[in-house]
Amino acid sequence: MNGGKTVRLIDIANRLGLTVNTVSRALRDKSDIGAETKERVRNTAREMGYIPNSIASSLRKGSSKTIAIVFDNLVNPYFMIMADKIHSRLDARGYASMIFAGYEGGFTTEILGQILSRKVDGIITFLEPDLDVLRILSTNQIPIVLLGRKNTTLEVDSVATDDFKGGYLITEAMIASGAKKIAYIGVPSTVECSVRRLNGMTKCLKDHQVPFYSELSHFVNGESIEQIFHKLKDSQTDAIFCFNDMIALEVYRFAAESGLKVPSELKIGGFDDIQTEFKMPIKLTTIASDRDEIVDTTIRLMLDKVRQKTPYDDYQYVDFDVRIVYGDTT
């Protein structure tokens, strides 16, 4: 698109010597099409700039003064805190916002079709977009900012925090309070900031000559937090670093139900510092950052492109420092 010839299914079929039906079913990931054929079709479609009809029909010029916000966990207060800050700043600048829920940590063309059907001017996403999403947005010069994920290999503006340092600081606090067998509960390893937080933890353990037990590192994928907690409890773990405060609060509850005393018998660390916005019965040891400055930077990057103050292909990768907030769990 973008002034050129629209690529059709028949164009891909002719290029590959396949039927239109085979190409269509391959792009829809149908089970009767082999993996090798699917890969050939997808690669060729990407190379030729094919855009699914469901998305192509949603694209048009003009401004709706609306920005999409994408994340995948509607019950996590952190995302609602950030969405509220984004909404208030956009509203003050004459823009509306719309929230879209992703699936299992991914931002795919399926979600993109839903977003573009609302004629948005730009997208702020907490989920890492796949290459097809970025290709379609780039072709049509619809700006996107990746928030909370650090990826300098993608052609996309990103605003992130120093998750490695956060993992290091939490682990250091646990060691200082006597922990010797520290575990990690993270979201799936496909979420890159989950891996960076674990990497910060392992570096701290190494620097302080505390053993790292790989079997104590769990990326939530099919198991519940409760199931993981009981595995760690049975392994005599004396500290658990959690990917975020919501997981940390669950762990605290399971510890209390199991009769473990926090922090004397089990130390718990979180991430995100949601307790500054929500009053809670316990005060977590957690990692904080300047959320207002992070949101201000995200809005600036987005609107500068929407208003064409900066070129679409001028990408910026902005990192923010973090700090530890000591609570009653370490």
User: Tokens at residue 164, please?
Assistant: 């490695």
* CATH number, position 202: 3.40.50.2300
Whether 239 and 302 share a structural domain: no
Report pLDDT for 258.
96
Asked if 238 and 270 sit in the same domain, the reply is yes
Tell whether 4 is covered by a domain.
no
Whole-angstrom Cα distance, residue 289 to residue 291?
6
- The total number of structural domains that make up the chain: 3
Question: Does 240 fall in a domain?
Answer: yes
Q: 42 lies in which domain range?
A: 9-50
Tokens of 277: 């916005």
233 in the same domain as 118:
no
pLDDT of residue 230: 95
Helix axis angle for 245-257 and 77-92, nearest 10°, is 150
Q: Binning pLDDT at 50, 70 and 90, where does residue 2 land?
A: very low
Give me the residues paired with residue 287 across strands: 324
DSSP 208-247: TT----GGGEEE-SSS-HHHHHHHHHHTT--EEEESSHHH
Is 327 within the bounds of a domain? no
Residue 29: other Cβ atoms inside 10 A = 9
What is the model's pTM? 0.81
Q: Does residue 328 sit within a domain?
A: no
Task: Please report whether residue 119 resides in a domain.
Answer: yes
329 in a domain, yes or no?
Answer: no
Please name every residue paired with 239 in a beta bridge, in sequence order, or none if there are none.
182, 267
**How many other β-carbons are positioned within 10 Å of the β-carbon of residue 240?**
29
- Express each pLDDT in 147-204 by its tens digit: 998 877 788 999 999 999 999 999 999 999 999 999 999 998 888 899 999 999 999 9
Residues 297, 253 share a domain: no
For residues 84 and 140, membership in a common domain is answered with: yes
Q: Using CA of residue 228, residue 229, residue 231, residue 235, what is the dihedral sign? A: positive
Rounded distance between C-alpha atoms, residue 86 and residue 173, angstroms: 32
Residue 189 sits in the same domain as residue 261: yes
* Predicted confidence (pLDDT) at residue 4 exceeds the cutoff of 80: no
pLDDT surpassing 90 at residue 328: yes
- Residue 242 domain-assigned? yes
Q: Are residues 46 and 193 in the same domain?
A: no
Average pLDDT score, the chain: 91
Q: Do 81 and 17 sit in the same domain of this protein?
A: no
pLDDT at 1 over 50: no
CATH code at position 45: 1.10.260
Nearest to 55 by CA among 130, 112, 127: 112
pLDDT of the residue at 265: 96
3-state SS of the chain: helix, strand, coil percent to 5? 45, 15, 40
